[in-house]
Amino acid sequence: MEIIAIANQKGGVAKTTTAVNLAYALALIGKKRVLLIDLDAQGNATTSLGFDKNELSYTVADVLLDGVPLADTILYGNDLDIIGANRDLAGIDVSLADVADAPLLLKNAILDSHLDYDFVIMDCAPSLSLLTVNALVATDGVIIPMQCEYFALEGIADLMDTIEKLTTINPKLHVRGVVRTMFDGRSTLVQDVSAELENYFGDKLYKTYIPRSIRLAEAPSFGKSIFEYEKSSKGAIAYHELMNEVLAQRA
């Protein structure tokens, strides 16, 4: 079972869009068994799969705070399963502030659950919170969605620094790949930032880029992935290609 964290502390970089549609691509096209874990109190990934985030019986908060078995929190879907999120996740940093092994709680819960999936995809909150730290400790590989703009470059140093520090707890932790999102190649700035990313990350930068797409923006409002909403769209084609690159990394 491969566990992949989709992380970037900057918001608005299509992180949830990437988590949801990569998970769906792996399940629908790759025919893999996939669990999506929503670790963002906004619950956007949960809503994107058509679940009502306000009607959840359990979230990861119940696992981390009350020791509820991870398997009991899973919502089963037709194509992939999800552990949903809502405002119950807000303030969890404060609640776990005095817990000595707080960064290890999610990892231990996953190990204890004996999950039967090919992939677990974790959608992290747009922050370097304790929930994000838990995700980074529980995973081996991080995929970083990045928009090709100036401010995106400013924040990446903090994320890379956090990843490096957490290797003392999780020695296998590494950047699996960086994916350029909301990409518009007509912009000189986008081309310049893209070139900087290539210089910085080298072969860690996926060849696939995710274009700006109205269809990608519309799909979550219908509780659907891009493959269910419009499988012939540029966004669907891009996430299919990204899935191929992610699977190729297993070879």
Pairwise CA distance, residues 118 & 9, whole Å: 26
Pairwise CA distance, residues 151 & 154, whole Å: 5
Q: How many structural domains is the chain composed of?
A: 1
Could you tell me how far CA 157 lies from the centroid of its own chain? 19
Q: How confident is the model at residue 178 (pLDDT cuts 50, 70, 90)?
A: very high
Q: How confident is the model at residue 188 (pLDDT cuts 50, 70, 90)?
A: confident
Q: Is the pLDDT of residue 251 over 70?
A: no
Pairwise CA distance, residues 186 & 82, whole Å: 37
Report the 3 state secondary structure along 169-184.
Answer: CCCCCEEEEEEEEEEC
98: burial class by Cβ within 10 Å (0-12, 13-18, 19+)?
exposed
Q: Is the pLDDT of residue 13 over 90?
A: no
Length of the chain: 251
Is-contact 137 110, C-beta < 8 A? no
pLDDT in tens, 16-31: 999 999 999 999 999 9
Q: Cβ neighbours of residue 211 under 8 Å, at least 6 residues apart?
A: 182, 183, 184, 234, 235, 238
Which three-class secondary structure state does DSSP give residue 114?
A: coil
Q: How confident is the model at residue 149 (pLDDT cuts 50, 70, 90)?
A: confident
Q: How confident is the model at residue 174 (pLDDT cuts 50, 70, 90)?
A: very high
- Looking at per-residue pLDDT, the higher value among 74 and 156 belongs to 74
Other CB atoms within a 10 A radius of the CB of residue 102 amount to 18
DSSP letter string, 117-140: -SEEEEEE-SS--HHHHHHHHH-S
Q: Cβ neighbours of residue 72 under 8 Å, at least 6 residues apart?
A: 58
pLDDT in tens, 108-120: 999 999 999 999 9
- For the chain, what percent of residues have pLDDT higher than 70? 99
Other CB atoms within a 10 A radius of the CB of residue 101 amount to 9
Q: Cβ neighbours of residue 213 under 8 Å, at least 6 residues apart?
A: 226, 233, 234, 235
Q: How confident is the model at residue 96 (pLDDT cuts 50, 70, 90)?
A: confident
Q: Is the pLDDT of residue 32 over 60?
A: yes
- For the chain, what percent of residues have pLDDT higher than 90? 66
Q: Which domain covers residue 200, as residue numbers?
A: 2-248
Angle, in degrees to the nearest 10, between helices 234-248 and 15-24: 70
Q: What is the mean pLDDT of residues 207-234?
A: 91
Q: Is the pLDDT of residue 189 over 90?
A: no
Pairwise CA distance, residues 136 & 104, whole Å: 10
Pairwise CA distance, residues 121 & 124, whole Å: 10
CATH of the domain at 126: 3.40.50.300
- Looking at per-residue pLDDT, the higher value among 201 and 154 belongs to 201
